[in-house]
Chains A and B, each alone.
Chain A
Amino acid sequence: MSATSPLLKPDWRLFGRRSGRTAPTRWLALAIGIAALTVMPVVSLVVIALTGVSDNWAHLISTVLPESVRVTALLMIGVGLLSAVVGVVTAWLTASFDFPGRRFFAWALVLPLAVPTYIAAYCVTEFLHFAGPVQTTIRDVFGFATRRDYYFPEIRSLGGAILILSSVLYPYVFLTVRMVFVMQGRKAADVARTLGASPFGAFRRVLIPMARPAIAVGVALALMETVNDIGAVEFLGVRTLTFSVYSTWLNRGDLAGATQLALAMLVVIVCLVLVERWARRDQRYTIQRGDKPAEGHLRLSGWHAAGAVLACALPIAFGFGIPAIILGDYALKRLDQFSDPALWSALETTVIVASCAGLVTILAAFLMGYGVRITGSKKLLTLVRVGSLGYAVPGTVLAIGILIPLAAFDNALDAFLRAEFGVSTGLLLSGSGLAIVYACCVRFMAMGYGSMESGFAKLSPHLDHAARTLGKSPGQTLTAILLPLMRPALLTGFMLVFVDSAKELSATILLRPFGFETLATFVYASASRSAFEDSAVAALLIVLIGILPVLALTRSILAKAQ
């Protein structure tokens, strides 16, 4: 891209005012161009919502809406709290203390991220239902015969949904918060300790407030995924607003009403984020350069060590262990599927799509992040943030928002070329692999841009000034100074987008061309005829390819940090 040429003229000033066609203007134009592409699907949904007339609102408000608002609110509060507590506590333990297995937990706690929510819901239900291993054992031990003979909590419930969703979504909090604790926490905690605070006191009064922006980012990601989820909540019989979005659209043929409802949910999410930002408006979070990551950890022993091990092991067992056992068990009975060439080609497609999506998203996020950094443009920032909201829109609804403008573009191009040159391009973008990569970029820009934003925030503007003073061109500053320093952020962002793209289902299924199978579509084909177990091998492969970047990249990031 153009970053290789000396784009920025010598009179370029960091955060300087725009002066004609100077470099920041061009950076701004580039960044706005990219941001516009990420915003387009949300905009097209707004158009659908505003141009359509829905006769379902009165019906919804007088029937299911109050209950589904309540359920959705409780689900969000539950998932928000539980994933925050689990994520923060495990991040604190692994960053500050030494106990048996700490190094293992430091990366294994990320593993549940590789498990799609719908697979987690299915597996945990299998594990805990009447005919599953847990209840069968209980009946054998106590001699019960039927479900009515004893009490067992119902996993298919709001509580169960909170537990299951949190168990695979807490890693967002763990990842963002742990980075803060590892990079900055030790010094602050040490100061607090010398002033007489207990380790827990330091945690509560110093570390948690310090990590608040990171907690907010992680929890926001978890909540966005919670509201866009339909597979897991539908399976668990939890009627969220998302459920009403789909029944309004599919059973009542009212896409406009469904879109209006989905956008209303989006507005609520935006308000939550704004309120949280407003609540800490007077606080400043600065990073002292030269802070070294913690060396040496407080050693835990006895009950404390056992408690720490348990606190770290439980989330992994629940979010990763149970799904792995259930899928592994089904897969063992279906070893013949491993010789199915269709499975391997689906695996290949999945890896290619996820890699492309990861790279393109990070590239776009990096350029937009840099655009915001050097121009300080509030408009651009707003645009970028709106583009990141795609993640909170129910997947298939967002996919419609992607499909319509792409197909309209294709048809317009085709009509133009036919009229002018007699050439037909047909559907160039929609219904191609590119459309799916684009869809993943839009859906997961929140992770990509979030990583870039926190990465850039850690780099002082003085770096840019220094590089410029030493005669580096701005393009060189970007690539020689900022890019290497941004490595952890780039890797984290890539990993998150890769893992989520490998799990992506709803947009892929709607936008794919003939013969285009990913592992997720493989799984869905079975799940949709309630024979999920037949796709256990494919589901296991989704988890496995999600693990690989988690392993490679967390280890590489942690190796740097430690």
Chain B
Amino acid sequence: MTRFKMIATAALGLSSALGAATAACAADVNIYTSRQPELIQPVLDAFTKDTGLTTATIFIDKGLEQRIAAEGTNSPADLIMTVDVGRLAAAKDAGVTQAVTGEAINENIPAEFQDADHQWFGLTARGRVVYASKDRVDTDALTYQDLASDEWKGRLCTRSGQHQYNIALIAAYIEHYGEDAAREWVTGLRDNLARRPEGGDRDQAKAIFAGECDIALGNTYYVGKMATNEKEPEQKDWANAIKVIMPTFDNGKTHVNISGVALAKNAPNRENAIKLMNFLSSDEAQKIYADLNYEYPLEPGIETSDLVAGFGELNPDDISLSDIASHREEASRIIDEVAYDSGPQS
């Protein structure tokens, strides 16, 4: 009897303690983010210092849009921050964002990095570039089309084709050259693979270091992260084994993806949230925010850090990211159709 009571009481007691302890501790601006909080916090701190407004974040990955949609009018979310244009577009498609017009952020961020309806805004850019072996690759210039040529047979490594960064790149390719050309291109990439797609972008650099492949697709900032990794100095060796080549489309420009922000549809603190959006697009914040992750600021005229400048000159593609995002479903299907993730066909 007592034991049973004890278990029941303990269970209920602990649960209610938990409920009380976690009761919404919301702030002046509440952020649902799929960008890692530690890459946002310094810039949020600067915002709090400037304005006295407090912020709170939750890191949510898959299902961020579904959560806001399910929470409906009671959702505490003011801002949505993500690291991929596809996720921003998905939030817009799910109807959990609202337009922002006539604000500083509309002016500061170039049009191609904003949603056509101003439902989301890019904040920083990262190039999707080629990591190439310093020892085994002579060239310093490549087009995206080149990657599918026979020259690279058995020499290319990438992460899964279904990863959002590769999806966005293929979607950009579709926007440039059409779906059929993109399918042919992805087929060419697949035939050039040295191994089945696996791991993350860093693992591709590691594979070049290990001699498993000679070129790989990766985001620019990982190079900075590896080159400065004091805790795992072996990653400096990986970074040293590779050079960054900025591949281009026919327009001579390189595909970039963004980290960005959107105003939640039912934002309870709309005014404060817009203040933060404007702040994030300001000179001060752009500099901090980009440097935190070795990225490129989107507001024109802000300098990149020396390390990022060392990757070479990035000439970001100027086709609209909302157009790119509209092709992501086709891109995802192409990956399946050519069985990209099954690796080289032999």
Contact = CB atoms under 8 A, between A and B. Distances in A.
Interface of A: 1, 3-4, 59-60, 63-64, 67, 129-131, 145-148, 154, 156, 234-237, 239, 243, 246-247, 249-253, 255, 330, 333-334, 352-353, 355-356, 359-360, 362-363, 396, 399-400, 403-404, 407-408, 410-411, 414, 426-427, 430-434, 437, 475-476, 478-480, 483-484, 506, 509-516, 521, 524-526, 528-531, 533-534
Contacts of A234: 160
Contacts of A252: 329, 332-333
Instruction: Please classify the interface of chain A as helix (H, G, I), strand (E, B), loop, or mixed, using the class held by over half of its residues.
Output: helix
Interface stretch (B98-106, B198-206, B249-257, B314-322): B198-206
A237 B27 CA distance: 40
A177 B252 CA distance: 65
Contact of B19 (A432, A506, A512): A432
Nearest to A146: B211
A515 B56 contact: yes
A410 B7 CA distance: 28
B58 A433 contact: no
A528 B60 CA distance: 11
A483 B3 contact: yes
B18 A434 contact: yes
A483 B1 CA distance: 9
A440 to B, nearest CB: 11
Contact of A60 (B38, B211, B336): B336
B26 A514 contact: yes
B63 A403 contact: yes
B62 interface: yes
Interface stretch (B8-16, B173-181, B272-280, B297-305): B8-16
A437 B198 contact: no
A59 B58 contact: no
Nearest to B225: A531
A534 B201 CA distance: 17
Interface stretch (B65-73, B113-121, B143-151): B65-73
A247 B198 contact: no
A515 B22 CA distance: 8
A480 B1 CA distance: 6
B66 A400 contact: yes
A83 B196 CA distance: 27
Contacts of A526: 36
24 contacts: A1-B4, A4-B5, A59-B337, A64-B339, A67-B339, A130-B206, A131-B206, A247-B336, A252-B332, A252-B333, A333-B231, A333-B232, A352-B21, A360-B15, A404-B66, A411-B72, A433-B21, A479-B2, A510-B63, A514-B26, A514-B57, A516-B22, A530-B222, A533-B232
B218 to A, nearest CB: 10
A523 B306 CA distance: 30
Given A60-B336, A130-B210, A131-B209, A359 B11 contact: yes
Nearest to A514: B56
A489 to B, nearest CB: 13
Nearest to B56: A514
Interface in B63-93: 63, 66-67, 70-76, 86, 90, 93
B11 A514 contact: no
B38 A251 contact: no
A67 B331 CA distance: 19
Contact of A530 (B10, B200, B210): B200
A147 B11 contact: no
B188 interface: no
A244 B270 CA distance: 37
B210 A146 contact: yes
A236 B225 CA distance: 23
Given A145-B211, A430-B71, 14 more contacts: A64-B336, A147-B210, A237-B199, A239-B341, A252-B329, A330-B232, A356-B11, A426-B76, A427-B71, A433-B19, A475-B1, A506-B62, A510-B62, A515-B56
B58 A434 contact: no
B61 interface: yes
B49 to A, nearest CB: 20
B164 interface: yes
Contact of A360 (B11, B26, B30, B160): B11
Contacts of A64: 336, 339, 341
B67 A510 contact: yes
Given A359-B11, A403-B63, A63 B339 contact: yes
A352 B3 contact: no
A410 B341 CA distance: 41
A478 B4 contact: yes
A513 B62 contact: no
Contacts of A359: 7, 10-11, 14
Given A427-B74, A514-B58, A237 B162 contact: no
Nearest to B171: A251
B63 A356 contact: no
Contact of B73 (A250, A352, A411, A437): A411
B25 A514 contact: yes
B25 A434 contact: no
Contact of A253 (B21, B30, B73, B93): B93
B201 A237 contact: no
Interface in B178-201: 195-201
Interface string B329-346: 101110111010110000
Contact of B76 (A235, A352, A411, A427): A427
